[in-house]
Amino acid sequence: MAHPKPPAPTLLSPDDIELELYEAMRRGDIERLMAVWSDDDEICCVHPGGGRLVGVGAIRASFESMFGNGTIDAEPHRVRRLESHSSAVHSVLERIRVATPSGEQFAWVVATNVYLKSAQGWRLVAHHASPGSADDPHDNAEPASTLH
């Protein structure tokens, strides 16, 4: 079933989109989350341990299913950015807060977020996440790259 897409907020940079993405996951807000995605038929998403989801409908259904179990308390850490005038790739170490019977625990996910700039502004076109750990190699002190 097609869902009308709410107008996306004015997002001036890939960083704005990323903040909105993680805030939508923490709130379990499917409309807010889907507003950061491009409308392109070829957008794709891979959740840790899952298969490739292609298209708005498949991605929406996967997040609706996850939100049915509660919100996703994900916080980006150690973001590495590679940006050009119309595209950006962010490599992110996500810290996921999980409530367990023995108390609060943290899980780690390594994610890649790909953004494109279109007539609607910056939008997410791909999110690929894999299991990670807090012991993933630390970044060196080099500044983020910008392509020209």
pTM: 0.82
In a domain, 142, yes or no: no
Q: CATH number, domain at 130?
A: 3.10.450.50
Give me the pLDDT at residue 104, please. 87
Give me the pLDDT at residue 136, please. 63
User: How many domains is the chain partitioned into structurally?
Assistant: 1
Q: Say which residues have a Cβ less than 8 Å from residue 99's Cβ, sequence separation at least 6.
A: 105
First to last CA, the chain: 41
In a domain, 143, yes or no: no
In a domain, 8, yes or no: no
10-residue mean pLDDT profile of the chain (148 residues): values are 53 90 96 96 95 97 94 91 95 89 89 94 96 68 47
In a domain, 148, yes or no: no
Give me the pLDDT at residue 140, please. 52
Give me the pLDDT at residue 101, please. 83
Give me the pLDDT at residue 21, please. 96
Give me the pLDDT at residue 1, please. 53
Give me the pLDDT at residue 10, please. 57
What are 148's two structure tokens? 């020209």
**136 to each of 77, 82, 95, 129, how far by Cα in Å?**
11, 19, 12, 14
Give me the pLDDT at residue 144, please. 47
Between CA 71 and CA 109 the distance in angstroms is 16
Domain that holds residue 92: 14-136
Give me the pLDDT at residue 102, please. 86
